Structure formats: C-alpha cells, structure tokens
Chain A
Amino acid sequence: MSVIVLLIIFSILVALVFLIAFIWAVRSGQYDDMESPPVRILFDDKIKKETLPHKDSSKK
C-alpha cells in the first residue's frame, strides 16, 4: 500500500510543474492582453506576388 505514498508525491510534483508553468506564463505577461492574440494568429503574411493580382482585381 505504501506505493500510494509515492504516487501521491509524484502526482503532486507533476501538478506543481503545471502550476509553475502557469505562474511563469502570467509573469511573462501572457495574460495581459486576452484580445489581440486570437486576432493576430489569423493574419496571413501575403507574399508580394500574391498581393499584386489582388490589387488588380480590386480595381474593377
């Protein structure tokens, strides 16, 4: 049964890793702005060649 003691210690250690990760994330400012990252990820970096024909089409 004493294996449970070991398991508990390990499970708490693993959980601690995640807690520390969370604290690090907050400290580094990842939770400061909850609005722009979801928008930012959707921006495509258009390559020049792609933008040119697009401009022509908008001239119609």
Chain B
Amino acid sequence: MILLNLHFFLPMERIKENKVSGKDKKIICYHCGDLCLEDYVLHEDKNFCCNGCKTVYEILKENDLCNYYDLEKNPGISLKSRNLGEKYNFLDQEDIQRKILDFKERSTAKVHFYIPVIHCSSCIWLLENLYKLKEGIRYSRVNFAKKELFIDFNPDRITLKELVSLLVTIGYEPFISLEQETRKKQKAVDRDLLIKIGVAGFCFGNIMLLSFPEYFGFEGIDDRIIHRFISWVNVALALPVVFYCSTEYFKSAYSGLKQKYINIDVPISLGIITLFSVSVIYVAFQIGPGYLDSLSGLLFFLLIGRWIQNKTYEGLSFERDYKSYFPLAVNRFQNGDYHSVAVNDLKEKDSILIRNQEIVPADSILRSEQAYIDYSFVTGESEPVQKVQNELIYAGGRQVGSAIRLEVQKKVSQSYLTQLWNNEAFKKKDNSRLQTMVNKISKYFTAAVLFIAFSGLIIWLGISMEKAWFVFTAVLIVACPCALSLSTPFTLGNAMNVLGRNHFYLKNSFVLEKMMKISHIVFDKTGTLTHSKKGFIQFKGNNLNSQEKIWIAQLLSNSTHPLSRRILNSINTTLIPVPIHEFKELKGKGISGVVEDHEIKMGSLDHLNDISDSPNSISSDDDFRHSQVHISIDKRYRGYFSIENDYRNGLKGLMLRLGRYYDLSVLSGDRETEQDLLKSLFPEGTSMKFRQQPEQKLDYISSIQEEGGQVLMLGDGLNDAGALVKSDLGVAVTEDITAFTPASDAILDAGNLHHLDKFIRFSVTAKHIIIASFIISFLYNIVGMGFAVLGKLTPIVAAILMPASSISVVIFATFAVNLMAKQKKLI
C-alpha cells in the first residue's frame, strides 16, 4: 500500500506505460505526463491533468522558467491528491527550526532537504533556479545522487515555512524528519575512504616507478648511494600506506580476534605487517629492495574493492522507523486555539486535531462523534474502520474524512505501535555476526597458511637458518588473501548493480549473500501481492437499462462476497429497497434471487445453466487477471462483468517457479475472504494465515527460523515492519521507490515482483562466481607458495604474481557477473 498515494513514476516508464495502455491517442498532461482523465484542464493549448499542474505551469511561466519543459518531456510531479492545508505550520516554531536548519545567523540560514521525487535534469534545473521564484533565496544546489537540496536563504525575507510551501506548490515536497542529523555522519566516512584510495594510489605509483630499475635487473648499479636512497624513499612512501590506509583492516582484525573469531582481515593484516617489516629489515641491512611495491599495490586494490562494496543507493533510505512515518507536529488545542506542536511534546490529556489523511500520532480517545480510521499501514487491513465517540484509536491510523478531535492517552513514545517497535527483535539483527562466505573460509585459510609457513621453516632450518626465515616470511607474504578478499566485493558489487537496474535495490552486498541461502519465502498480502489501485470493472454484453441495474444492485447488496461488493460499488445506481424472494448464495458458484418477479442469476457460467440462449459472444480473456461474473435475467443471458484483479501481474507464474525451490507462506492482516483466490494462485502446500497482527507475523517468522529456515519476507507496510526486520532478508515492496518503505534490507519495485525468482536465482549464480574466483585465487596461491617454499620468491616474482592475481580475479568477477546477467536477461 502506497502511503503517500502519489502516482509518479520515473518519466521514461511513465511514457512507456501510456503508450502501452493507449489504444487511441491518449491525452498526456503537459506538466507531469500522467494520463488526463475526463476532467482535465485545457490552458494555452496545453493539457493538464489537474489544476495543480496548471498552477505550477503558470508559476513557472510567470517567472520565465519554462526551460523546465525543454530539458525533459513532461518532467513535472503530479499534484493530484495533495493537500497542503496548514500541514507545515509547525515550521514556524523555533525549536523545530533549530533542528532542521543546518546553520542560522541573523540574515543567513542554510538548510538541506531530502526530496525523494527528484528524478531528472529538469528537476535539477528548476530547483537550482529557485531564487528566481521567491526573493530571499540566495542559492540552491541539488545533490542528485542523494536527492538532496541545499538552500541558502535569508530568513528575514522568507521563512522556513514559506520555503517549504514553495517547494510543495511546485511539486517537490521535501521529506522532513528530525532524523536528518544521522545522515550527515555517513558522508564523512565515504570521503575518508576516497582519500585513502588516493593516498594508496599515489604511494603505489611512485614506489612502482622507483622500483623499475630493480625490475629490469639493474641491481648491480654502480652507484650504491642512489640505490640506498631509492630504497629509503620507498620505505618512506610505504609508511602512509601501512599506518593510514590499512588502519581499517587492523581494527577489524583486532576486534575479530578479541571476540575469538578469525575474519578475512586477520590474514590480510598478517600479510601487511609481514610485508612491511620484512621489507624494512631488507632495506636496513641492505639485503634487497623488499616488497614495498607489492604491499602498496595490494592496499590500493583492497581499498578499491572496499569502495565498490560500500557503494549503495544513497537516494533510498533503508533504515526508516516509525518516526519517519509519524508526523512531526500536530495541532494541539490550548488557550482557546489550535497551535501546532512537536509530536514529542504531546502530553496525556492533550486535545489534538487530526485532519483528513493525517496520521494519529499517539494512542488517543476519540472526542468527535465518529471517525474512519485507515489502519492499512499498521495492520494490513484494507478497509477503513469506523470508530465512534470515546473509542480508543491506536497511533498509526490515518483519518479518512473530516477533521476529528482526539484526547491523547499515552505519550508518543509509549504508544502501542512505538512499543512494538521497541520489541527486542528490532535490535537483534545488529548484534548477529556477519557470517560471510569469505569469513568462513578465512579461518581455514589462516590455519593452512600458518601450517605451511611453519613446516617450511622447520624443513629449511636443517639446511640454512637464513634461508628458513626467508621462506617463512615469503609464505606469509605471498599468501596474503588479497585476491580472495577482492572476489567477493567485486562480484557482489556488480551483481547489486545488475539488480538495481531491474529496480531491486539492496541495502548492501551482504544482503546478496543472505539471499543465496533463502529457503522459505513469506508474502504479505495487502499491498504486496495486491496493488493499491482498485481494479477496473467493465460490463460486456447487452447494455442494462436503469431498472435492471436497480434489480442487480438489490441482489448484490444481499451478498457478502467481495466480488459482489465491488460490482455493487461500480454500478452507479441508488439502492431502492425492493423485496427479494428466494435469495440463494451458492458457494463458489454465484447468487440468485427473484426481484419484482424477475429471476436474476449472477455468477459463473455453469451457475447460469438454465439459460435459453447460449452466450456465444464471450471472449476468452478468462485469464487470472480478470474475474467474470455472468448475469441472466429471466433465463436470458445478458452479459458479464469483467473485473480486473487487485493482484499484481504474473504472480501465478512466479509462485509456480518459486514453489519448486522454496517453501511459501502468505500472511495477511485481512479476513479470509480471498482465500479461494489465493489458493488458486499459490502452489499446494502453501500455508496461509489470515487476521495476522504485527506481532503474530513476527512470531511466525521466528517459528520458521527456529526450525532452521532462512526466511525472505516481502512486505510493504508498518504492519510488516517487525516481520521484515526479524526475517533473514526483509524486502519492502513498493509501487513508488521514493515513497515511504519500512526498514528493510532491500527495496523492490512492485512492477518487478514477478521477477523475484530470477533475482534469487541470480544471487545463487553470484555465489558460483565467487567460488570460481576463489578457485582462481587459490591457484595463484599454490603457485606463489611453490615459489615461497622453494625459497625463490624474489621481490620481482612477488611484484608480478600478487598484482596479477588481484587483477585477474577482479576482471573475472566483473565479466562473469555481466555475462551471466546478460544470459539471464537481466541487463
């Protein structure tokens, strides 16, 4: 279920979609590219789907910003279903402003917003020309990758609230959350890594150049001073590599050892230390030039691997919790008037006002006469629930309809939903050790290397003391698992990229490793298997007259079957109570009854077995996507309603394919009404649970895990949030990548849900590629060990062998992933 109900897609997809669905030429909104429905607005020979889009166009035109429309076709953001109201009044409050502003001093203020809808170059252009729209804005800059907008403005001339309202009116609603502080930290880490790569590259390049004479065998150069000088310069250049660039590896190795756990960084650190100390000793005692070139090259490649592994989708947020779902402020009644107040400042017994489409922030008692609360995001139930005066309303519900007054019962931090969020399951995950493939291998790898090194030492001790130490160190040097540790980041980084191109965004590459081991897939129903847009209902056959419609409506109103209710909603007729006789509802077949002496039957074709004329004009579009409800009046066939299903495309095929390899389950917050339909969708043996509360979903996941299953959970709403976090791999399914998704390991565009099996199979392919590159790096290691044990690992051999193994593993991983992706038609 989409939270914000905004229908925007990336422009390319949008245009494609229009072409497919349009048999005739459809009218497309000049501003946002959405389809124009009947009530579109014509203005200056341009079509707009709604007044909002037209207004934006007018604002832009007035300010000479029509360039916006030249850069991309229909770049705008649809303004349908937006209600601004006084939503942003809280921005006038000092303490909230302080939290949001990055900087403020008299006439200068700086702020940055996360604007999820930024999607094309027109967006950048318009947002960077904001100063033309309103005075007081000095400067604005877009960070496209992070979808952030940095604004520098004069708070005396334009307030923060006015600024946000301006952004909202032109369609770029910022995502305001008090969590923004957490995002700032991440940036610094990324920069550090880049600098480390730069330093390592610098040292690597220079050491290589200075070592060139050695490579070409000018060892016996007449001038010993130059020789020694070069060696010492190399040592100096290696210092930053060891003491600055490799710090992360030492730290990780140390923390691993402290917990009595050998991770891949242990042998790497061992290699780095041996390489460096041996080289310094060689240089100091003029034994040889040492292995400094290999050392710096190794670090350079390792850091690049780390950078690729760290690359993630900065524009998407995987870590949201209830705080980003709840409003920041709410209207509180105080001293005879409503004032906007920060949600965290709400106290018990406060009286608050919740408008249409606003979310109830705390458990409260309804003081207005009635309310319709949509809990779909919290419980997964699709229909709004009616509440009457003095009933308790849980936080997280969304009011549908007119504004209501509530009395707060519990503080936000103590609400039912917030409590659920503080469930320990939500914290468990961080503590669990990442059992990555590489780390598993590294234990044996380290043991094997140490074994070989010591046996080499012992064997050679009998021949020559000096040679023995040389062999010992050479084994440690050459065994440095550089290639081993590179294969994973490059394979997974590339695979992640491939999946990202298919709109399946992973939080990081560890997620891929978890995906390889999945054994059980759990689906949420509402919003995950179904889409939020209601299916299209069409009547095919002889047109019904208004009298007949009333009869049908009357018959339908007696039935509780979901299809009946949906057809009833689609018939535009007023219900006039007419008595019905002999009403019958046959399960799985249909309904029948006599209204005003006319016998009406509705349902499947065999339910209408007594009709006089056979329906010959039925098209056979009886696929899963459409349900048909046939009608006969007085034993004469009249036609059928074709009802488009709520379920997403291609589910049946997907389940069939998934069912072969994995156990499947469906958890639904809804009632059992659609059980039959679900059964036809899923292969036999799928367990289905209905009326599931968020905790029950969570418990179900843990029960599978206790039996040793690795669970992949697909969900969309807050009600699945617990299960998503608890599962081994939580995937948030969303129709709009930029809209709210609960905390998860991956975000999947709902349009590609039917490719899920392909994605999982691809992760298994990635595993095979990693294993293959492990084998390659082992082969190199065996060759290197051969040299080392025989005491023939000269610096030149090391300088050739070590980078060669790293580079070939990187090339293999990259090409193999792309090749496999092409073969599986993922790119």
Contacts and interface: CB of A to CB of B under 8 A. Distances in A.
B450 interface: no
Interface stretch (B192-200, B676-684, B702-710): B192-200
Contacts of B237: 12
A40 B199 CA distance: 30
B164 interface: no
Interface string B445-467: 00000000000000000000000
Contacts of B190: 32
B101 interface: no
B180 interface: no
B11 to A, nearest CB: 14
A36 B143 contact: yes
B44 A59 contact: yes
A31 B144 contact: no
Contacts of A54: 66, 70
Contacts of A43: 67, 71, 121, 125, 128
Interface stretch (B31-39, B78-86, B222-230, B260-268): B222-230
Given A12-B206, A19-B199, A48 B64 contact: yes
Interface string B197-228: 01100100110001000000000001101100
Contact of A2 (B67, B128, B146, B226): B226
A7 B61 CA distance: 62
Contacts of A16: 202
Given A46-B67, A51-B66, A33 B198 contact: no
B45 interface: yes
A23 B198 contact: yes
B12 interface: no
A33 B226 contact: no
A51 B69 CA distance: 12
A48 B194 CA distance: 43
Q: Interface majority SS on A: helix, strand, loop or mixed?
A: helix
Q: Chain A interface residue count: which class?
A: 20 to 34
Contact of B145 (A18, A34, A42): A34
Contact of A26 (B145, B195, B225, B233): B195
B796 interface: no
Contact of A33 (B70, B128, B144, B222): B144
Interface string B108-140: 000000000000010011001000000000000
B25 interface: no
A22 B66 contact: no
A10 to B, nearest CB: 12
B198 A22 contact: yes
Interface string B143-182: 1111000000000000000000000000000000000000
Given A12-B206, A55-B66, A4 B142 contact: no
Contacts of B194: 26, 31
B191 A26 contact: yes
A5 B195 contact: no
Interface of B: 44-45, 61, 64, 66-67, 70-71, 121, 124-125, 128, 142-146, 187, 190-191, 194-195, 198-199, 202, 205-206, 210, 222-223, 225-226, 229-230, 233, 237
Interface of A: 1-2, 4-5, 8, 12, 15-16, 18-19, 22-23, 26-27, 29, 31-36, 39-40, 42-44, 46, 48, 51, 54-55, 58-60
5 contacts: A2-B225, A18-B202, A40-B128, A55-B61, A60-B45
Closest CB pairs A-B (n = 5): A36-B144, A35-B144, A33-B143, A39-B121, A19-B202
